[in-house]
A and B are shown apart, each in its own frame.
Chain A
Amino acid sequence: MRSVVSILDLSTSEINELMNVADDIERNPEFYRSKCKHKILATIFYEPSTRTRLSFESAMLSLGGSVISTPDSKISSAAKGESISDTVRVISNYADIIVMRHPKEGAPVVAAMKATVPLINAGDGGHFHPTQTLADILTIRRTKKTLSGLTIGLCGDLMFGRTVHSLIEAMLRYPDNKYIMISPNELKLPEYMREALDKAGVSWRETESLETAMPELDVLYMTRVQKERFFNEEDYVRLKDVYILDRDKLKTAKSDLAILHPLPRVNEISVAVDDDPRAQYFYQTLCGKQMRMALIMLLLGII
């Protein structure tokens, strides 16, 4: 059964096709209104993520399908100790497609092995969250009208930020992009990602300064610098403001910069930036919903 656990489960041509379908949904939503009629999507969330769950449910409803769902917080059978394998086998009998979020890394791999219907990973701990990446790259393609020849700045926690790693892996499939990794020294890109960049032979560099990188950027992908990642309060206080995007830091930016953020935001982007036409992080969530619609249809064999 075809499932999507990681962005690597989708070929480049499939990702391109999903983006084309998402664009068509944008132009012509009526055409898709009944595509999933009589189909049921189950969302099983072993940890709360209201936004992700609602995005999938809204996607399915916009396709004319139905949704069954567990309460966000605790799955009752999980509390009784039922294995993921058993849960997924049972729910495969109730739904045509399953969306799962689980705090344990690799849980969707186990689930996908046992499910008899397609399964989408909606996030497993710090591991993968492929539909976030699909949202990110559609946002880039729509705002920049291309996925190549761009200078992409990734800013914040590049060590633990899974969305960053996954976005890099996806963008490496498109030629001639240049990457600037903007982070405190403590939160630099992990070794295996550095190797992937070197192996791909792309141009990339690292800097601690968002300000010096800013004028070059076509895309700025912001992530949060979390307090728990630092060994001491001093470093955190010293660094946190450096990675907060405000109007002042945007002064030297290109007029057609696209600012992305996987959300939720805490304070890493000043609210004053929201009204700047370069801010695309709320639009990003619409792109996410449309990519989820396209992915659901792909896995159900409708497109």
Chain B
Amino acid sequence: MDALVEARGVEHRIGTRAILTGLALTIARGEVIGIAGPNGAGKSTLGRLLLGFATPTAGTITIAGVDPAAHRHAHGIGFLHEDGGRGWEYATPRALLSLHLEDPDAIRGDPICRVLAIDPLLDRRVATLSKGQWRAVQLAMALVSRTPFVLLDEPEAGLDPSAQGRLHEVVGMRAAEGAAILLLSHHLDSLAVVAAQIHLLVQGRFHDRFDPTGMSAAALRSRYTHGVDAPAADTPIVGRSI
């Protein structure tokens, strides 16, 4: 398996408080991994470490063999922030997308933009977009630059069922192109559609991992509840290709 993202023995502390403990994670090229867990489990912190926006207190994280910050500088990272996106109200989606494409004229013909149906939105101010429309634009911003690693934090937030279907489609497109994709989410049913494996992160540790293929919503909920209540497992978790 051609692993792109590798994390070993990752710990992160803020002061004396341990946020993440003994995490191991591998994501191969073309693989989609989901991480679920309750609020405060450390999902977003793990995301920041993988993006190179923070450095782990202990352990190693590499992306394509280099540290995440160096990889980000060399290749960029497709990142969807969980924040609602305040600050870009007066920009247009076209201007924002031009940050991520060398040739901004390529926006209109881009298959990801076409699937996300953002063509009619390109020249509107962000302040005039609905929450779901803005989320679609943010998704396009994270995906159009074709980065090797994509991290989407709560990508379903604000999306209606039809838009969630488009989200799954574009995630699948990027995985088919060879991107390693990590989804951080509370929405198990959505993760189950695209992720080859779901890891449960509870109190900074991976407590469970499973292949959601064919699992019903009830089975997913049961697995989640059981995983959240189960004792920590220290075994490294390795994803598989889809």
Indicate whether A and B interact: no
Chain B residues with CB under 8 Å of chain A are none
Binding site for B on A (CB under 8 A): none
